[in-house]
Structure formats: C-alpha cells, structure tokens
Amino acid sequence: MNADLPVLMSAYLEWLAMHKRLSDKTCESYGRDLQLLCRLSKDIGVSEPQALLNHQIKHFVMQLHGEGQGAKSLARYLSSWRTWFEWLLKNQHIAINPVQGVRAPKPAKTLPKALSVDNAVKLATDAAAGDTAVLKRDHALIELLYSSGLRVSEIVGLNIAPLDKNDDGTGWIDWDEGEVHVLGKGNKPRIVPIGAPALAALSAWRSIRQTLPHADLSPAAFLNSRGTRLSVRSVQLRLAHHARVLGLPVHVHPHMLRHSFATHILQSSGDLRAVQELLGHASLAATQVYTGLDFQHLAKVYDAAHPRAHKKTTK
C-alpha cells in the first residue's frame, strides 16, 4: 500500500490506521504530505527524510511558499511532518524533532470587498425604484447604507425622531440637520451626515410610512409590512434581492455598502482619520461625539469626497 514510501513512513501510516483508528482518507492525506517531504529531501540530496535538520525544513517552507503554496497548505504540511517526527522521536529513531519551532507564514489579510463607485451609485439610484411603500422603504435603506456607512444593526435601530426614554431604538434621524445619530459598538455615540439623495429618499419614505398598519405605534424609522421594526435579516434579504435584479456581479450585503462608503471616501480624500471617525472606530465620549476632530471638519470631508453627498442648494 505504501511501497513508494520509506519503511519508517509506511510503518507510521500503519500505526495511524491501527492504533489511532484514522480513516483511510485521512491516512492517504498524511501519506501525500509525507511523499512531498520525501521529494523535497531528495531534491537537496538527503536520501533519508528522518535525517533532515531544522534549517532544511525551514528551507522547504520558504521554497513551497515561493512556488505559490498558501499559508493553510503549508500549515497542514508542517503538522503532518511534525507528527511523523514526533512518532520517530517517541520510538527513539531520532534525537530531536527538526520541525519543532517551524511555523507557516501568516495568511495574507484580505481587504473587505467593496462595490465600484459606478455599481454603488447604480444600486443606490436604481434599486427599489417604484411607488409602493416597501420599495420606497428599500430605496431609503440602500441610499442611507451607502450614504452614511452605517452598520446594519445601527440602521434597523434608527428611530424616525429623537429618542424617547421609552423607545426601543438606538439612534435617530435629525431631519433638520441632515444627520443620523447612532449608538455603535461599545455604546459609542456618533453623528454621520446624510447625503442629499439619501435624505430625499428618506423623506419620500417618511411620507408613505404612515400608510403601513400600526405605523403610529412604532418609533422605528424602518418598518416591515406589519408596521413593526424591520429586522437585520430582512435588510440583508432585500438588499441582496435588489442587487440581483440589477444584475450586479457580486452578492451584496449591508456590510459591503459600509466598506464601499469607507473605501470611496478614503480614495477621494485620503483622510483616514476622518473615515475612522465616520465609521465609529475611534473612542468616543457621550458628551463629546468626536475626539480630535470636530464635526464641521468631518462634514466638509464627507461633502467633498462622497459620491452621493452633494448638498441641495438652499434658496
């Protein structure tokens, strides 16, 4: 079964099957990793893999990484090799485990996915176009998600008016100032501007919101068809639905619009500090919404950089 492997490797695989009772598939996986170790050993002139040294194992990891092997694959190889050498050590075939202390490189951090500016604006402009209450609500939701970079939990927690002590929301819309007041993670309050298109969409939704049943009984900014606060899951499903209808090439979820909001402002302004403040990532106090930067500065960066932030001209 393992005739192409050295005797000690074949014996180890048999031990895994008989004493550890590992499945055939798992043993085959170990066997492939050990075959790779044999090949690498021969490439550097080492005929017996059990004679490998620590620096040679490190060289193998660097070589495989240079050939395009990912961090997860390298970690698996090292795990397979390490356990074989541990078995050799336990059975007194070697004096030291050469894999000890050798680690795979850390996986590269992937950047959050963001829509292109064109696709984000298309989604905000064209999604949910229509005159029904549900479509106007969805349009306002999508515009606000992209306009203000809110978390989905924050947007469903918004109230239509300033918070009352009996309200169950965690934020509210300031219609006069064109801002949203939210309470983010760690109960950190922040104020985020609302762009003119989003504010117009919100106003259109507000004008039809009262047609839903029991709407006057709920302070929630966004209601479902039964007149109760919209859920996070509903926002996720509605956003994905509208993105599919528009034929966007990716699965769109609320956090993708948050990433798009941050990415597009950062690309335009280069002001990372302002973006951190707008996203609510900085440490904030209850009575001082922003630390180090005042709101006028943030609003100025927002107005200049965000594709949907152009203010209406006041008469």
Which of the residues are catalytic? 151, 185, 255, 258, 281, 290
Q: Helices 24-43 and 54-66 sit at what angle, rounded to 10 degrees?
A: 100
Q: Which helix (H) or strand (E) holds 192?
A: strand 189-193
Q: Which two tokens stand for residue 72?
A: 């997860």
- Alpha helical stretches, state H, the chain: 7-18, 24-43, 54-66, 71-90, 117-126, 133-148, 152-156, 196-209, 232-246, 254-269, 272-279, 295-305
Contact between residue 231 and residue 184 where contact means Cβ atoms under 8 Å apart: no
Q: Tell which residue, 78, 26, 75, has the closest CA to residue 52.
A: 78
Antiparallel, parallel or unpaired: β 158-159 and 189-193? unpaired
* φ/ψ (deg, to 5) at 10: -60, -40
DSSP code string of 254-268: HHHHHHHHHHHHHHH
A 10 A CB-CB count for 298 gives: 22
Contact between residue 141 and residue 148 where contact means Cβ atoms under 8 Å apart: no
Burial 211-223 (b: 16+ CB within 10 A, else e): ebeebeebbbbbb
